Amino acid sequence: MSFTLPLYTPPDFSQPRFKNLPLVIFKPVLQQGIAPENYHATSVYPEYFHLRQGIWRLIEKSRMDCVVVLKPDDLLEVKEFRHLKEGDLVACGRSEEGEEGIFIDVNGFDFPNRTYEKFAFRLHRTRETSFSVDYDELYDLLDYEQKNGFIVWVLGPAIAFDLDARNAFSSLIKKGYVHALMAGNALATHDIEGSFYGTALGQKIYTKKPVELGHYKHLDALNRIRAVGSIEEGIEKGLLKDGIMYTLVQEKIPYVLAGSIRDDGPLPEVIEDVYQAQDKMRSLAVQATTVIALATQLHSIAAGNMTPSYAVTENNQVRPVYFYSVDMSEFAVSKLADRGSLTARAILTNVQDFVVNVERGLEKRKPKTDKIRL
């Protein structure tokens, strides 16, 4: 199989039903951080705004539950409420069929019939569901996105608890299948613990055997990195020699570590202000063409809420943004699928097995060249 993007057909605004529709109304912000009455809140879908007679403008970098601000030259910017400034002109109107100059396109993508159910609302997948085709389609997608897209991974610490999974994800980074990463303090801490001591939370990451004073190991790892000032300094000084964080730094892959109330340490790179962390995550999410969230329910929901269901490419092509939620918990993977995202898919499995299978599956697909013996 090979991957092709679903065709997107934009609305035909020359149709008679669009001709007499009004222009969208923009109202000024009177108080910083407060949207005007009747503000329009963005959805997950492509949205068009009637700016001048016959001119409908698509917002290119959207995010659900935000507002749309008119900028010079008819540019449209999606802003969180907290970023609104006095004088910002905010789009107003809550109808969706153009009655107030706003049209929400819910039927633009021509998804193949054979995969239609994967994009339907309220996906009820269980541990008994067959996922063979999902893996094959994911391999096709990742091969395409490696060179044509921006793949963002959202990781929980479980990936660092297993030797093979940790190695497999490092391999995916080196092979170009990771363009950005979002996680918390725990993923990075236990990955670094694995590098220093071969443990995660005091258990050997291969044998699972507990080590003496194992409950100190992640704290010792934190302390050593904090002492040198950063993860990068730990690498430069030869302390950190392998693992996920090591490979991210070596390959110059951007990442965001968002802090939480339960963090130990944290690592110097962890962003402790939640809204600064959200802004940093958003800067990666708006670039995403595929997001894969593994065993981290809260980070998955956060990433899902700030990732639009579509992206506009450099050649002005509108394409879907794919979102995978992978977990052993049916509840966890359903949280995003039930949001109504166009492309949210749920895969129920152990995420450590998932990462290993994906790395091996991608490797098997590469053409093998027989070596010529002279």
181: domain CATH number is: 3.40.50.10690
Domain extent at residue 291: 113-364
Same domain, residue pair 219 and 269: yes
Same domain, residue pair 339 and 276: yes
Q: Can you read off the two tokens belonging to residue 150?
A: 């921006």
Average pLDDT, the chain: 91
pLDDT at 212 over 60: yes
pLDDT at 117 over 50: no
Q: What is the pLDDT of residue 331?
A: 76
| pLDDT band at residue 242 under the 50/70/90 scheme | very high
pLDDT at 327 over 70: yes
Same domain, residue pair 34 and 163: no
Same domain, residue pair 227 and 285: yes
Same domain, residue pair 190 and 242: yes
The DSSP element (H or E) to which 311 belongs, if any, is strand 310-312
| pLDDT band at residue 298 under the 50/70/90 scheme | confident
Apex 254 CA angle, 364 and 43, nearest 5 = 90
| pLDDT band at residue 372 under the 50/70/90 scheme | very low
Q: Provide the 10 A C-beta neighbour count for residue 87.
A: 9
Same domain, residue pair 202 and 340: yes
Q: Which residue would you say has higher pLDDT here, 10 or 368?
A: 10
Q: Residue 372 domain-assigned? A: no
Same domain, residue pair 232 and 272: yes
Nearest to 321 by CA among 304, 302, 333: 304
Same domain, residue pair 97 and 163: no
Q: Which residue has the tokens 């895969």?
A: 347
| pLDDT band at residue 329 under the 50/70/90 scheme | confident
Q: What is the pLDDT of residue 199?
A: 98
Q: Residue 283 domain-assigned? A: yes
CB 326 within 8 A of CB 134: no
Give residue 262's region: left, alpha or beta (phi > 0; psi -120 to 50): alpha
Kindly report, residue by residue over 144-203, the tens digit of the pLDDT.
999 999 999 999 999 999 999 999 999 999 999 999 999 999 999 999 999 999 999 999
Q: Residue 369 domain-assigned? A: no
Same domain, residue pair 156 and 259: yes
Same domain, residue pair 118 and 95: no
Instruction: Specify the pTM.
Output: 0.91
Q: What is the pLDDT of residue 297?
A: 86
Q: Can you read off the two tokens belonging to residue 343?
A: 């492309």
Residue 38, domain CATH:
2.40.420.10
Q: What is the pLDDT of residue 220?
A: 98
Domain edge (last residue) among 38, 72, 104: 104
d(CA 292, CA 338): 16
Mean per-residue pLDDT, 317-328: 93
Q: Residue 356 domain-assigned? A: yes
Question: Looking at the 3D structure of the chain, how many domains does it have?
Answer: 2
Domain edge (last residue) among 53, 72, 104: 104
